[in-house]
Amino acid sequence: MDPSYDSGKVAEIHRHLHSHLPSEPALRVKALESLLVEKGLVDPAALDAWIEAYTEEIGPKRGAAIVARAWIDPAFKSRLLADAGKAVAEMGFAGQASGHLKAVENTDGVHNLVVCTLCSCYPFAILGMAPAWYKANEYRARAVRDPRGVLAEFGVTLAPDTRIDVWDSTAELRYMVLPQRPDGTEGLDEQALAALVTRNAMIGTDDLRGAA
């Protein structure tokens, strides 16, 4: 055996290389994508444009813009809470997923949490692609049974007297949370406020009050 051979170092390199490999589902998706492109069934440019749209344009940026507008415009906020679908359409974000949308507002006494117990209904046109944990059985079950415990695992600790309302999304009615505006943001404009809004805050698993 080569005296310079270090089994520990080789094992470390092996672990390092594997830690940078995509997950098995990601590899399968990539293989499927390559096969479809090779057979001419998918235009790679169109696929890239679709991914970019949901990541950079649609994604949670639309929802963040809606939240920021509600923070600075009381009249828009009233319309959003009264009929979210129409208010969203005002901003040019109307779509199938936003047509059955209800906005629920966090306050000092109430915190809202969104879940879909039967599947993973989600306003993707407003919040982007649903996170993996939102679709997981554990979240879907525990969010209803133990919402306070679930929120604590996301780092959201609420006062004992804060009421938690859990909203169950369906294909007919989907929810987004209007989070509370972070403290100390009085001087920020709409664009700067939107940059503070997270997807999780619009699901209810994030608290933005200390984000500024």
- Active site residue ranges: 116, 119-121
Distances (CA, A) of 161 to 105, 109, 144, 179, 209: 17, 7, 18, 18, 18
CB 112 within 8 A of CB 177: yes
What is the amino acid identity at position 179? Answer: P
The candidate with the shortest Cα–Cα distance to 97, out of 170, 40, 47, is: 170
CB 197 within 8 A of CB 209: no
Q: For residues 203 and 168, what is the distance between their CA atoms, to the nearest angstrom?
A: 11
Query: φ and ψ at 98, to 5 degrees?
Result: -100, -5
Which 8-state DSSP code applies to residue 21? S
